[in-house]
Amino acid sequence: MNKSSQGKITRISGPVIYATGLIGPQKNHVVNVGYEELLGEIVQIRGEIAIIQVYEDTSGIGINEPVIDLKRPLTIQLGPGLISTVFDGIQRPLDLLNTDFIPRGAKLEPLSSTKKWDFVPNPKTKVGTELKGGEVLGTVQETTLISHKILVPPNVNGTLKEVTQGGKYSIREPIALLDDGTELYLSHEWPVRQPRPFSKRLPLTTPFLTGQRILDYLFPLAGGGAAMIPGGFGTGKTVLERTLAKFSSTDIMVLTLCGERGNEIADALSSFMELEDPRTKRPMIERTCIIANTSNMPVAAREASIYAGVTMAEYYRDMGYRCSVLADSTSRWAEALREISGRLGEIPGEEGFPSYLPKLIGQFYERAGLTETLSGDKGSVTIIGAVSPMGGDFSEPVTQYSLRFTSTLWGLETELARARHYPAISWKISYSGSIREITNYMEEQYSNWIETRGKIQKILQEEEELERIVRLIGKDTLSETQNGLLLTADIIKEGFLQQSAISETDAYCPFEKTDLMARTIIRAHEAIQGHLHNKSITVEQLYDKTPLIEELKRLKEFSVFEINDYYINLETHIDEEIARGIAL
Amino acid sequence: MKDLKTFRYRTTYGIQGTLLFLKEIQSVAFEEIVDIIMPTGEIRRGQVLQADKNATIIQVFEGTQSLDVVNSEIIFSRDVFRVGVSETMVGRIFNGLGEPIDELGTIIPLKRLPISGSPMNPIRREKPENFIETGISTIDGLNTLVEGQKLPIFTGSGLETSEVASQIAVNSRLLGKNRTLDIIFVAMGITERIGRFFRETFEKASSSSITFFSNYTQDSIVERLITPRVALTFAEFLAFEKGRDVLVILQDMLNYAEALREISSAREEFPGRRGYPGYLYTDLATIYERAGKVKDQKGSVTMIPIVTMPNDDITHPVPDLTGYITEGQIIMSRDLANKQVYPPINPLPSLSRLMNEGIGKGKTREDHSQLANQLFAAYAKGMNLRQLASIAGKEALTSRDQLYLNFADKFELHFISQNERRTIEETLSIGWQILTAIPKTDLNRISRTFIDKYYPEGEVLFPKLS
């Protein structure tokens, strides 16, 4: 630690305090505030006065109490042990706190300094090697799923002078020494507001699969992209995110719960402990980092938590992993900024939010990407940001700013949620900015994705127009083929788009099954349309006299193999059932 | 506190609304409590909103009217606001600051706790999963309340909300164990008439004990911000130190938020939507998030805040932000009330996020979740068709659609509407009976196993509607 300077508190107003007497204070340096040494960060300097946002409750803190400048920016500690720990916004491990209520001023090491990790050195890094930032010194098995690469900190270069032969090390014991005397450890610190460097950005090519049919098939997101989920309360945002955290095709999931409900964190934890990763059959928690700053925890730490989350993801990205950040909710982060900004007396922009909010939102989403790491590996950070628009009104600033910096929108709709259509993702307002990027990959793996996807979207769109007509002049005016289209739209909505997050069999739908279901429904639609066109059956008869509609709506209950059998004989089966139904 | 000396000042240089501005202060702490001694001997209390040597701001609980600026003396307590708590407080009546007003004598507190509490460590939270039977079908069947949940009631003026809330309080049972619910009723800015209604209802029912904290319409708005915190500190004490199960009813959060807004504007803070301060979300969260259960401990705090929606507008900031924090919402509907449906709870926009944790096999019944889904879907469809019929006429609907209209009518008449307390078994059974109004083949939210097991055979109870 560098030398520090001491000042004293002159004003306290909520999370903002004023201090004088610091020598050469710098913006974004952290300080200890008061006798209890609460963590704070200098956010503004006005002449003699340093203005500090405090990451803990300030009630009872008095003027004249000391402020100590730590002369370093807000950092988090990166190393083995991040996974499956629950941290608060300033990286205090809540599991180690061991108290039912969070006491103020608790001081805890983010990562265990006593736990020994089995370090295996990288055979390529020998004494005398010129090491550059980001290079791999060796590995530690962090969880069964994750081999944690120990990296040279990105800002460190030098010739390797000594390196251990391997063995059990804690994060406090050096594992290597450079010529210039720099010691390297299993962990290092990194300032959270500074993106970690990489060698270059790569074009996005593969989908970030979620196991959710509507997302994977209609509105896919490319791995390394950014998506946003706006939704009023009660639209199932939390459940959707939980589902994404569980089932997404990602190596590391960083869950940043920012200003949200405490019970949700309890729920997330217990379900991640129990649930198996569908691909690796290991508990989900072994690939999950959680940052929890609930709505009643100090507001300034909410602001920091978003950055801590994305920095952790970048750290694992630098090891060559596919990482995802789920930030819930970016609106609470923006509100924290607004609260601090208001207390600083800054001139507000839209709806009281600071005028630099769009810049900060842009910079946050820009930390997503598929990159070549400093060590030449390939790693990605995919960011999914939830937005909680006031009154469900998407025209509010946080939603609008976020739209500009994310390529993909998964919009949740109150109407759908009210009809218990879950996930309540609207096929009308959602869009994907990744279609072009992943087309090659998808067409190689699955036939006719673009075409079938187009057909589904067209049916849903035509349905909307027909519904408008029905609303005006009634159902009588529709032709049978048009009624048939409404029927298919109904099958698509209930049988394909709806997916229960609590169903044991359907919560996760592998893309292979999604693809097969989509093709089955479209193929059935075309066959049925033929029959309706020839007037060999009516829609009403289809409902009353054939099992076809119910079968199609229940496709999701069956396995890929069963659906495949059904698919192969589809036309024959439809012909037979219709003939049988008519004969009744 | 580092220093126990008292500090006395006569340096008030301004008054604005309920705020005092002081200068030349040697030592002051944020949110410290002060006594204001007036020359008449009258003592008022206040709290520090901003601690600053030359611009300390104090908010006076009783207001600043006829406060003698020059001659009043401000005494700093060197402590934050605390409330004395003990189990003997159960069943008593208090003012908004936690002082007894029922002439049953003073309380000898076991301890004095700061009212702001501490945030519950999220990872020490127990997942709420015990069903609370309220006896109301739209809640138990479709929007289930569970122990440790915060489930607000969003309502409009004149919708018999107090009746519904008091009914929930009187009728709620914890199933399968010999535990009772302690009720804490927190009046914030409501009329004394409503407060009296609650007290009398409870005395009549005499099944549970109710503790009252009252800040009525005519009481101080600064006190109004203190009242829920005093009550919740007491609730936490009962739950987490004494292992009791507590249900806290807060009425009305709109009045609370308006008090917050009034003080915010007196401080000349930049207003957010509809003049409410930008930190309304955070402030509400510090109240609502105090509901919960702690791992390896008995008690629980369940919370039912009542929020009036001005002009029935759910996008108003107070219901809106409440909805983002709480685990669902129960919504009262004027349409249903106008149809003489009581309780007028509209299940479609209502939601209990923790419902799935509290229902199912071993808790309520195995078919509960799927049955509820089917009822929701069918009622939603019925409502859409009703809207369609009102534009294009009933003739425009197919005979199949007519069945759904009929279902919606029956659902309102027999399921939502009720005069009696229903057990969960009764609620589910009524649900199944109403489902016979639509074709059996349409029950696609329910597995075949459950349909075979629970589908009512033979004649159903209800008379056919014309």
Indicate whether B466 belongs to any domain.
no
Clarify whether residues A135 and A66 are in a common domain. Answer: no
Using a CB-CB cut-off of 8 Å, the residues of chain B touching A261 are: 289, 325, 327
User: Minimal Cα–Cα distance from A87 to chain B, Å?
Assistant: 10
Range of the domain at B11: 7-80
Closest CA to A295 of B240, B277, B284: B284
Indicate whether A80 belongs to any domain.
no
Across the interface, which of B118, B278, B398 has its CB nearest the CB of A102?
B118
User: Minimal Cα–Cα distance from A84 to chain B, Å?
Assistant: 12
* Lowest-pLDDT choice from A370-374, A418-422, A515-519, B21-25: A418-422
Read off the CATH number of the domain in which B16 is found: 2.40.10.170
Clarify whether residues B13 and B129 are in a common domain. Answer: no
Indicate whether A105 belongs to any domain.
no
Clarify whether residues B310 and B414 are in a common domain. Answer: no
Please give the pLDDT value at position B78. 87
Clarify whether residues A313 and A186 are in a common domain. Answer: no
User: Minimal Cα–Cα distance from A264 to chain B, Å?
Assistant: 8
Clarify whether residues B327 and B406 are in a common domain. Answer: no
Closest CA to A414 of A435, A388, A447: A388
Question: A361, A321 in Cβ contact below 8 A?
Answer: no
Clarify whether residues B204 and B297 are in a common domain. Answer: yes
Clarify whether residues A277 and A360 are in a common domain. Answer: yes
Indicate whether B119 belongs to any domain.
yes
Clarify whether residues A66 and A120 are in a common domain. Answer: no
Please give the pLDDT value at position B154. 97
Q: C-alpha angle B100/B103/B106, rounded to 5°?
A: 50
Indicate whether B462 belongs to any domain.
no
Decide which of A164, A191, A218 is a domain's last residue. A191
Indicate whether A95 belongs to any domain.
no
Clarify whether residues B397 and B348 are in a common domain. Answer: no
Please give the pLDDT value at position B2. 42
Indicate whether B444 belongs to any domain.
yes
Indicate whether A94 belongs to any domain.
no
Burial class (CB in 10 A: 0-12, 13-18, 19+), B425: exposed
Query: Chain B residue closest to A421 (CA)?
Result: B377
Clarify whether residues A314 and A332 are in a common domain. Answer: yes
Task: State the total domains in chain B.
Answer: 3
Decide which of B80, B111, B133 is a domain's last residue. B80
Read off the CATH number of the domain in which B106 is found: 3.40.50.12240
Indicate whether B463 belongs to any domain.
no
CA–CA separation, A439 vs A448, rounded Å? 10
Please give the pLDDT value at position B459. 62
Clarify whether residues B72 and B142 are in a common domain. Answer: no
Across the interface, which of A238, A259, A352 has its CB nearest the CB of B278?
A352
Mean pLDDT by 10 residues, chain B (466 residues): 62 88 91 92 91 92 84 90 94 93 91 92 89 94 95 94 89 80 92 89 75 92 93 97 95 95 86 86 94 93 96 93 92 95 93 90 93 93 89 81 94 94 94 94 90 84 45
Read off the CATH number of the domain in which A384 is found: 3.40.50.300
Indicate whether A491 belongs to any domain.
yes
CA–CA separation, B170 vs B167, rounded Å? 5
- Which chain B residues in 165-204 lie under 8 Å from chain A, judged by CB atoms? none
Clarify whether residues A317 and A394 are in a common domain. Answer: yes
Query: Chain B residue closest to A92 (CA)?
Result: B121
Q: What is the band of A4 on the pLDDT scale with cuts at 50, 70, 90?
A: low
Clarify whether residues B335 and B217 are in a common domain. Answer: yes
Using a CB-CB cut-off of 8 Å, the residues of chain B touching A295 are: 281-282, 285, 289, 325
Indicate whether A99 belongs to any domain.
no
Return left, alpha or beta for A237; rule: phi > 0 is left, psi -120 to 50 is alpha, else beta: alpha
Instruction: Kindly give, in sequence order, each residue whose CB lies less than 8 Å from that of residue A503, ignoring residues fewer than 6 positions away.
Output: none
Closest CA to B14 of B268, B272, B269, B277: B268
- State pLDDT tens for residues A8-23: 999 999 889 999 999 9
- Which has more confidence, A43 or A471? A43
Clarify whether residues A227 and A299 are in a common domain. Answer: yes
Across the interface, which of A35, A502, A543 has its CB nearest the CB of B2?
A35
Tell me whether residues B28 and A550 touch, CB distance under 8 A. Answer: no
Clarify whether residues B349 and B373 are in a common domain. Answer: no
Clarify whether residues A236 and A334 are in a common domain. Answer: yes
Clarify whether residues A65 and A119 are in a common domain. Answer: no
Clarify whether residues B186 and B318 are in a common domain. Answer: yes
Across the interface, which of A270, A335, A476 has its CB nearest the CB of B396?
A476
CA–CA separation, B257 vs A445, rounded Å? 55
Neighbours of B267 (CB within 10 A): 17
Indicate whether A441 belongs to any domain.
no
Query: Chain A residue closest to B279 (CA)?
Result: A339
- State pLDDT tens for residues A45-92: 999 999 999 988 899 999 999 999 999 999 999 999 999 899 999 899
**Which of B113, B123, B404 is most worth mutating to test chain A (most A CB atoms within 10 A of its CB)?**
B123
- Which chain B residues in 223-262 lie under 8 Å from chain A, judged by CB atoms? 240
With an 8 Å Cβ cutoff, is B390 touching chain A? no
- State pLDDT tens for residues A129-143: 999 999 999 999 999
- Which has more confidence, A253 or A277? A253
Please give the pLDDT value at position B46. 92
Clarify whether residues A210 and A265 are in a common domain. Answer: yes
Clarify whether residues B50 and B91 are in a common domain. Answer: no
| Cα distances (Å, whole numbers) of residue B89 to B182, B194, B239 | 11, 22, 14
Tell me whether residues B29 and A64 touch, CB distance under 8 A. Answer: no
Read off the CATH number of the domain in which A127 is found: 2.40.50.100
Tell me whether residues B400 and A234 touch, CB distance under 8 A. Answer: no
Decide which of B62, B80, B98 is a domain's last residue. B80
Indicate whether B416 belongs to any domain.
yes
Neighbours of B417 (CB within 10 A): 17
Clarify whether residues B117 and B253 are in a common domain. Answer: yes
Instruction: Kindly give, in sequence order, each residue whose CB lies less than 8 Å from that of residue A281, ignoring residues fewer than 6 positions away.
Output: none
User: Minimal Cα–Cα distance from B200 to chain A, Å?
Assistant: 34
- State pLDDT tens for residues A352-396: 899 999 999 999 999 999 999 999 999 999 999 999 998 788 899
Clarify whether residues A299 and A429 are in a common domain. Answer: yes
Across the interface, which of A390, A418, A550 has its CB nearest the CB of B317?
A390
Task: State the total domains in chain A.
Answer: 4
DSSP state of A493: I
Clarify whether residues A119 and A33 are in a common domain. Answer: no
Range of the domain at A170: 112-191
Clarify whether residues B87 and B41 are in a common domain. Answer: no
Across the interface, which of B55, B270, B397 has its CB nearest the CB of A352?
B270
Indicate whether A106 belongs to any domain.
no
